[in-house]
Amino acid sequence: MPTTIYETHELELIDGTILEMSPLKIKYLKQFMDKFDLIKECKTDEESISVLVDCVRISMKQFHPVLKTIEDVEDSIDLPTIYKIIDICAGVKMNKEAQDKNDASEIKPAKKENSWDSLDLVKLESEIFVLGAWKNFDELESSISMPELMAILESIRELDYNEKKFLAAMQGVDLDESKNKNEPDPWEAMKARVAAQVSGIGNGDPNDVTSLQGQKAQQYGFGIGMGLEYEVITKD
């Protein structure tokens, strides 16, 4: 069965309109999360619902632009559907207490080690921007969602690792074996050895002068017959 990057869901509005929902594009997700962050300051259920409705209004920019205002959202979408949209679009789930009580004031973001606040989005986007598929970052953020971004990153990193693995194998180094043994990164070690060989400095150790010879020996002041001066001492 083909692997899917994310699931899509059909939701019905109060007027019978069917929307196909999926994770938000990054452009709208940033707006969504900025607004959703305000829920931490809400003290009443009414305040929390107001924040959630505004989050859904932002989501509708992508899925149903006809709903432009908070009033439009309130007239078209009931509270259970709002909870589903929040979950589908941003992956924010209600905790069990909120589900049991249907209480928006109990909503909290799912606790994850890699939270939105700790995400270095610029770094991640920069890593895939080099593909050259977008003319600027705004176009990138308008084109892909976070699941798509992570899938692209995973593919890029896998291709990069496979290329390193191939080049390392050409030098007789097994990256997988060394990685499993928790040894120093053989890719970096190999690059150091190659750089040392190109510069003419031994086996990668800058203090090793045993292999210096010819012009390189003369340059560094070491080596047999080129870098060292000597005189013949005879016995009288």
Model pLDDT for residues 33-62, shown as the tens digit of each residue = 999 999 889 989 899 999 999 999 999 999
Say which range, 79-83, 154-158, 167-171, 226-230, has the weakest mean pLDDT.
226-230
DSSP 200: T
Cα–Cα distance for residue pair 142/28, rounded to 1 Å: 8
Tokens of 95: 């905790």
Q: Judge whether residue 27 has pLDDT over 50.
A: yes
Dihedrals phi, psi of 146, to nearest 5 degrees: -65, -45
Spell out the residues 6+ positions from residue 74 whose beta carbon is closer than 8 angstroms to its own. 53
Q: What pLDDT band is residue 139 in, cutting at 50, 70 and 90?
A: very high
Q: What is the pLDDT of residue 63?
A: 96
Number of H helices, E strands in the chain: 11, 2
Report the percentage of the chain scoring pLDDT > 70: 63
User: Which of the two residues, 227 and 104, has the higher pLDDT score?
Assistant: 104
